[in-house]
């Protein structure tokens, strides 16, 4: 599968005001992520991991520089266009699964597809296929409270990729799981990236999992650097 650059940050800066002072999180940061690549973002708390993920996911605007998603410059896009890119091209996975408690695993995965306008039959078939791929097809009719932590997170991953995004951003997706379950969930996530050609950036404090990814990057002095 040919690779192409899905996410590109060029000279990105992001600052926050704290009283009379300005806190610079990113300063002239450059970064690129290709299709089929899975990159670990490993950095101490408070250094800007969440900020970087929010910028990459078009949830925040940079103060300087440019962010490209699949070659499209996103800095001056309308809010509607940014929302469309987030909905169609970007999948998000968080430390807590954020599944809708009143819906089954299958219905949770169908939801973003239905919002995107996919017919119910197609959404149901894709959701079932994703559950099977994540090895929890037998739990399709169970609600989140009836699932284990690892099962909930696998449903959350399946939901994040339900609309076949180009980019997957994950913030400590195994942070609430025991080591064995975390490894299992990561294996499923990695297999999904390889099979689909997704580009994935995963923020994690788990150095063992980070070492299994294609690259590891950190934040240092406002820059994104490989290590």
pLDDT of residue 85 exceeding 60, the answer is yes
Residue 138 tokens read as 């037998």
Name which of 15, 37, 18, 42 is nearest 26 in CA terms. 15
The reported pLDDT for the residue numbered 40 is 96
Q: What percentage of the chain carries pLDDT values higher than 70?
A: 99
- β-strand pairing of 215-220 with 223-226: antiparallel
pLDDT of residue 96 exceeding 90, the answer is no
> What would the mean pLDDT of 109-137 be, rounded to a whole number?
93
Contact 158, 131 (CB under 8 A): yes
Cα 220 to the center of its chain, rounded Å: 22
Model pLDDT for residues 157-200, shown as the tens digit of each residue: 899 989 989 999 999 888 878 888 888 888 888 888 888 889 99
List Cα–Cα distances, 5 to 45, 68, 70, 179, 191, in angstroms: 28, 9, 6, 32, 20
Cα 9 to the center of its chain, rounded Å: 16
CB burial of residue 199 (10 Å; 0-12, 13-18, 19+): buried
The reported pLDDT for the residue numbered 1 is 52
pLDDT of residue 67 exceeding 60, the answer is yes
Q: Can you give the pTM of this predicted structure?
A: 0.89
CB burial of residue 186 (10 Å; 0-12, 13-18, 19+): buried
The reported pLDDT for the residue numbered 193 is 86
Does an H or E element contain 196, and which?
Answer: helix 179-196
> What would the mean pLDDT of 71-86 be, rounded to a whole number?
93
CB burial of residue 214 (10 Å; 0-12, 13-18, 19+): middle
The reported pLDDT for the residue numbered 39 is 96
Q: In what side-by-side order are the strands of the sheet with 72-73?
A: 21-34, 5-18, 64-69, 72-73
Name which of 16, 8, 14, 10 is nearest 65 in CA terms. 10
| pLDDT band for position 104 (cuts 50, 70, 90) | very high
Q: What percentage of the chain carries pLDDT values higher than 90?
A: 65
> What would the mean pLDDT of 123-145 be, rounded to a whole number?
94
Phi/psi at 32 (nearest 5 deg)?
-140, 150
The reported pLDDT for the residue numbered 38 is 95
> What would the mean pLDDT of 36-53 be, rounded to a whole number?
90
pLDDT, mean over the chain: 91
Residue 3 CB contacts under 8 Å (≥ 6 apart), including other chains = 34, 35, 36, 37
């Amino acid at each position: 599968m040919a690779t192409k650059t899905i996410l590109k940050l060029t000279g990105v800066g992001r600052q926050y005001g704290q009283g009379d002072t300005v806190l610079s999180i990113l300063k002239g940061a450059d970064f690129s992520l290709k299709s089929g690549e899975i990159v670990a973002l490993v950095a101490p708390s408070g250094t800007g991991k969440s900020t970087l993920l929010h910028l990459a996911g078009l949830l925040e605007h940079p103060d300087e520089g440019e962010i490209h998603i699949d070659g499209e410059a996103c800095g001056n896009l309308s809010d509607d266009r940014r929302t469309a890119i987030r909905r169609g091209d970007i999948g998000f996975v968080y430390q807590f699964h954020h599944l809708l408690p009143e819906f089954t695993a299958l219905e949770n995965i169908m939801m973003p597809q239905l919002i995107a306008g996919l017919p119910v039959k197609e959404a149901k078939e894709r959701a079932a296929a994703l559950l099977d791929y994540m090895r929890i097809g037998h739990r399709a009719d169970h609600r989140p409270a009836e699932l284990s932590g690892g099962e909930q997170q696998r449903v959350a991953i399946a939901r994040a990729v339900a609309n076949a995004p180009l980019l997957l951003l994950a913030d400590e997706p195994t942070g609430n799981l025991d080591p064995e379950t975390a490894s299992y969930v990561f294996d499923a996530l990695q297999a999904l990236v390889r099979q689909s050609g997704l580009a994935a950036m995963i923020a994690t404090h788990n150095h063992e999992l980070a070492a299994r990814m294609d690259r590891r990057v950190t934040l240092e002095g406002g820059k994104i650097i490989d290590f």
